[in-house]
Amino acid sequence: MKKIVLSALLMLAVMSLDAQHSSLRTYGDAVQLMVDGNPFIVLGGELGNSSASCAEDIESHFSKLHEMGLNTVLVPAYWDLLEPVEGQFDFSLTDKVLEEARKNDLKVVFLWFGAWKNSMSCYAPLWFKSDSRRFPRARTADGKPLEIASAFSEEVFKADNKAFRAWLSHIAEADKAHGTVIMVQIENEIGMLEDARDHSVTADRHFNAKVPRQLTEYLSAHKDILHPYMLEKWSSAGCRMEGTWTELFGEDIYTDEIFMAWFYASYVERMAKSAREIYDIPLFVNAAMNSRGRRPGEYPSAGPLAHLKDIWHAAAPSVDFLSPDIYDDGFKDWVAKYHLPDNPLFIPEAKMTQDNGVRAFYVIGEHDAIGISPFAIEDSSDAQETPFVQGYLKLRELMPLVTKWQGQDAMWGLLFSQNDRERVIDDGDLVLTCRHNFTLPWDPRATDGTAWPEGGGFIIRLAEDEYLIAGNGIVVEFATAQEKAGQNQISLGEDGFVISGDASDDPSSGQEGGRGRKDTSWKAQRVGLGAVHEVTVLQDASFRSVRSLNGDQTHQGRHVRISVGDWKALHVRLYRYR
């Protein structure tokens, strides 16, 4: 009997290992997603909520996504359609996703729409939703039941996890030879609405009990890297190691949120452990943002938000990272909140905009992002001339070079808008002044009232005085630090001449101009453009020169630029002189 049991366990382990084609690795300062042994950056798109609910839609959407330059599609997996009758499973939609993804050279990130989707339990099956006695709901402070399943119910967990395990077991078997599925998101935008926490009888009992020792020990062990919000909340009560939630964190709705986050995360941890047993690939959770001045419960309270990352990491260590869904303004600020020493950046949802092309360059260059995925991608144009498609196609070409340089402290991301036009980068003794291309004087769209599209890209230091600059709508000037400190800012026209001269410098004026005097005071070393080539990046990360750029294309050696509407990679070699 022992041999039979051991053999069965060994077979399960081998099945899981065979199915695992993706994993995470630390590479320098970055965390990389590895697919079939190679680093992989998700250039993705997420389908709309109902866009994978019939086979015909899946078929039509996936062929379009391939043409748009995507390498990955994020697809909902619907519990209500998977298990319409309790205990009876239908995997046909999952199989169709796998079939069409392979046909169109796409990887898949599945999103488990189980007990919660955008806070609500709308994707739970009808047999679940209609039996609130067996599957209780969360309640507001005044006792109102919500269409939000209780995270404190064992019956809720068992039903959700049973379906999740059955579905993952099917994928592990169906995908083991292919590795089409590279990550799984557990639930979707978990959080409480209408109130900061569940006020059911069971929830209240837990709220009035002592804080789990697991949490306080985590906070103590990670005190040096706690989120400032969490450190202040815990410190305000003296960093106590024992007590109730209010004794440790105070008596307000923000403590309610911390409490609720612990139990949501604890629920997800149990789901994640199930996944690890069956199909051990990277797992993540996503958060709806706490934006626009809203308070917990006005946004989905207690989700995997940046200020709650320590609670989620403590309660759900089997989850690999927490991800933001970004629909608000302030893109650069939002992504910075989630790229942390203990949390790599992956953006599973972003508002669909043509600016997502340059935003993808930015998050990869600045934040070593695992990937980005605009939402309702099937509704966007697949026309090859659109900025989004051009950006993704150029990034696919650049991928061997980007993955080589991630985490090496030699890459910077650029993202500019009409109101955010310049970034100065100090790189050793060099200063790189980077700006939106429309800050140059000669493009009429810069001044005719045209709304500036975002410009962006990344810069990689390949070696001393050698750089790769890629993206769209950017201009970069190089100077030594000494040179930059002594520069006079003179406005030059497209021809390189000063836009408006000084008559005193005209020899025919009879006046002695300042620019005519001999000046021997300049001591700084200068840097110039030795050679600039537009290049194509090959699979081995080497370059093939497309054309040499000089003269007007570099403003007579003053800068390198990629105009708005172009998507290029430029190989720049500098030289120095006095």
Reply yes or no on whether the pLDDT at 507 is more than 90.
no
For 225-266, how does the pLDDT look when each residue is reduced to its tens digit (9 = 90+)? 999 999 999 999 899 999 999 999 999 999 999 999 999 999
Question: In the chain, helix, strand, coil percent, each to 5?
Answer: 35, 30, 35
Residue 221 has which token pair?
A: 């062990």
Residue type, 471: G
Is residue 27 within 8 A of residue 407, CB to CB? The reply is yes
The two most distant CA atoms of the chain are separated, in Å, by 109
Is residue 127 within 8 A of residue 85, CB to CB? The reply is yes
Residue 496's pLDDT band (boundaries 50, 70, 90)?
low
CA distance between the termini of the chain: 84
C-alpha span between 267 and 400 (Å, rounded): 38
- CATH topology identical between 13-198+261-406 and 412-509+521-577: no
DSSP 307: G
Quick one: CA torsion of 371, 375, 381, 386, rounded to 10 degrees? -40
The domain spans of the chain are 13-198+261-406, 412-509+521-577
Is residue 73 within 8 A of residue 44, CB to CB? The reply is yes
- Vertex 219: Cα angle to 215 and 224 (nearest 5): 165
| Structural domain 412-509+521-577, CATH architecture | Sandwich (2.60)
Residue 91 has which token pair?
A: 């995997």
Residue 489's pLDDT band (boundaries 50, 70, 90)?
low
Reply yes or no on whether the pLDDT at 346 is more than 80.
yes
Exposure string for 239-268, b = 16+ CB within 10 A, e = fewer? eeeeebbbebbeeebbbbbbbbbbbbbbbb
> What is residue 520's predicted lDDT score, i.e. its pLDDT?
60
Contacts of 149 (CB under 8 A, 6+ apart): 115, 116, 121, 124, 128, 135, 136, 137, 138, 156, 160
- List beta partners, residue 88: 85
More confident residue, 78 or 19: 78
> What is residue 10's predicted lDDT score, i.e. its pLDDT?
38
Measure Cα distances from 121 to 70, 113, 130, 134, 137 in Å: 30, 9, 12, 15, 9
Instruction: Output the pTM of the full model.
Output: 0.92
Residue 70's pLDDT band (boundaries 50, 70, 90)?
very high
> Helices marked H in 279-374 — which ranges?
309-315, 331-338, 356-367
C-alpha span between 474 and 496 (Å, rounded): 18
Contacts of 472 (CB under 8 A, 6+ apart): 357, 358, 361, 387, 390, 391, 455, 456, 457, 562, 564, 565, 566, 567, 568
Q: Tokens 């690999």 belong to which residue?
A: 320
C-alpha span between 569 and 578 (Å, rounded): 29
Give the mean pLDDT of the chain: 92
β 38-40/30-35 pair status: antiparallel
Measure Cα distances from 242 to 200, 207, 255, 259, 278 in Å: 24, 14, 15, 14, 36
Is residue 45 within 8 A of residue 106, CB to CB? The reply is no
Is residue 299 within 8 A of residue 291, CB to CB? The reply is yes
Angle between helices 154-174 and 2-19 (to 10 degrees): 70
- Sign, CA dihedral 495-496-501-502, equals negative
C-alpha span between 317 and 260 (Å, rounded): 17
> Helices marked H in 352-432 — which ranges?
356-367, 387-405
Residue type, 300: P
Strands (E), 419-542: 422-427, 430-436, 455-463, 466-472, 474-480, 526-537
For 32-62, how does the pLDDT look when each residue is reduced to its tens digit (9 = 90+)? 999 999 999 999 999 999 999 999 999 999 9
> What is residue 159's predicted lDDT score, i.e. its pLDDT?
98
| Structural domain 13-198+261-406, CATH architecture | Alpha-Beta Barrel (3.20)
For 281-326, how does the pLDDT look when each residue is reduced to its tens digit (9 = 90+)? 999 999 999 999 999 999 999 999 999 999 999 999 999 999 999 9
> What is residue 441's predicted lDDT score, i.e. its pLDDT?
83
For 551-576, how does the pLDDT look when each residue is reduced to its tens digit (9 = 90+)? 999 999 999 999 999 999 999 999 99
Reply yes or no on whether the pLDDT at 192 is more than 90.
yes
